[in-house]
């Protein structure tokens, strides 16, 4: 079963919940935890797992043959990422970190002056602790589009998925391309939120996204006792979903978090009971 842990707002405890859920599931099952927040991965710190690099993530970038180039500028005109700059009567200027590897420049070049080469855009790491395996993606600083690294991460694990009972995917915060890339293919999702104006606002956004992606999503309310829950319940009714777990703001959870230990709480066990129904 493939489960996504997501949430519109950063800082709601999404990664904390993802690690805690994977940790408890791994007591009886074989679990793969995927840290798909490639801009800022940190599940290894929360899980207390040491990682080692196993492979680079690469994408295609254009390789210009200036002996063939006629300085027409078609490559720059058709580059939606503006990774190619054209000045009249000059050879194109290429900015590699802006490129997403769409190959449009190669396709439109009228004289075949563009071929392909690869550039490193990220890295993939792995670590284990008993029944729990963590695979984490990390984007190379300066790269424009992190969804390319998420796609590379998912492609890498595709052949390994059958070896696990549960796959828990920790997405980035927000509703942008890397979050969509991480969510695609999930059987269900849990949106982690908090009872604050920002939390409620962004919960609305993430539930709107998962509805469009047709991924059944339930709500996990973290730090539920720091504010009123009524507005979260309004959002839940709007999307015909429910709050399946309420995690308190407790000293024990804070201590475990600061010590780099997966949290254990009856609310997390309640999520597992919901999954196993």
Q: How many other β-carbons are positioned within 10 Å of the β-carbon of residue 38?
A: 28
Query: Given this model, what pLDDT does residue 222 score?
Result: 93
Query: Given this model, what pLDDT does residue 250 score?
Result: 85
Dist. CA 244–CA 130, nearest whole Å: 28
Residues 6+ apart with CB under 8 A from 230: none
Confidence of residue 274 (pLDDT cuts 50, 70, 90): confident
Dist. CA 275–CA 263, nearest whole Å: 18
Strand partners, 4: 169, 189
pLDDT tens digits, one per residue of 215-269:
999 999 999 988 888 999 999 999 999 999 999 988 888 888 888 888 888 888 8
Task: Say if CB 121 and CB 101 are below 8 A apart.
Answer: no
Strand, helix or coil at 201? Answer: helix
- Structural domains for the chain: 2-57+121-275 (3.40.50.300), 66-112 (3.30.70.20)
Which DSSP string do the residues of 162-180 spell out, in sequence order? GG-SEEEEEPPSSSSHHHH
């Amino acid at each position: 079963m493939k489960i996504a842990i997501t949430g519109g707002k950063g800082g709601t405890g999404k990664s904390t919940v993802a690690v805690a859920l994977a940790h408890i599931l791994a007591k009886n099952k074989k679990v793969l935890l995927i840290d798909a927040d490639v801009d800022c991965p940190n599940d290894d710190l929360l899980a207390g797992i040491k990682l080692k690099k196993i492979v680079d993530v690469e994408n295609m970038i254009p390789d210009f043959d200036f002996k063939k180039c006629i300085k027409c500028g078609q490559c720059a005109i058709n580059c939606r990422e503006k990774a190619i700059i054209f000045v009249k009567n000059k050879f194109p200027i290429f900015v590699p970190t802006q490129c997403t590897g769409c190959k449009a420049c190669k396709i439109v070049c009228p004289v075949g002056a563009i071929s392909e080469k690869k550039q490193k855009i990220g890295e993939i790491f792995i670590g284990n602790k008993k029944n729990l395996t963590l695979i984490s993606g990390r984007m190379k600083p300066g790269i424009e589009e992190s969804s390319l690294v998420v796609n590379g991460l998912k492609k890498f694990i595709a052949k390994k998925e059958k070896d696990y009972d549960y796959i828990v995917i920790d997405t980035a915060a927000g509703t942008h391309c890397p979050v969509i890339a991480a969510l695609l293919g999930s059987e269900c999702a849990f949106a982690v939120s908090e009872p604050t104006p920002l939390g409620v606002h962004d919960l609305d956004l993430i539930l709107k996204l998962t509805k469009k992606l047709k991924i059944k999503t339930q709500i996990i309310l973290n730090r539920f006792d720091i504010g009123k829950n009524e507005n979260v319940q309004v959002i839940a009714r709007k999307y015909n979903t429910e709050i399946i777990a309420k995690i308190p703001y407790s000293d024990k959870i804070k201590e475990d978090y600061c010590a780099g230990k997966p949290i254990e709480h009856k609310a997390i066990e309640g999520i597992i009971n919901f999954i196993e129904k």
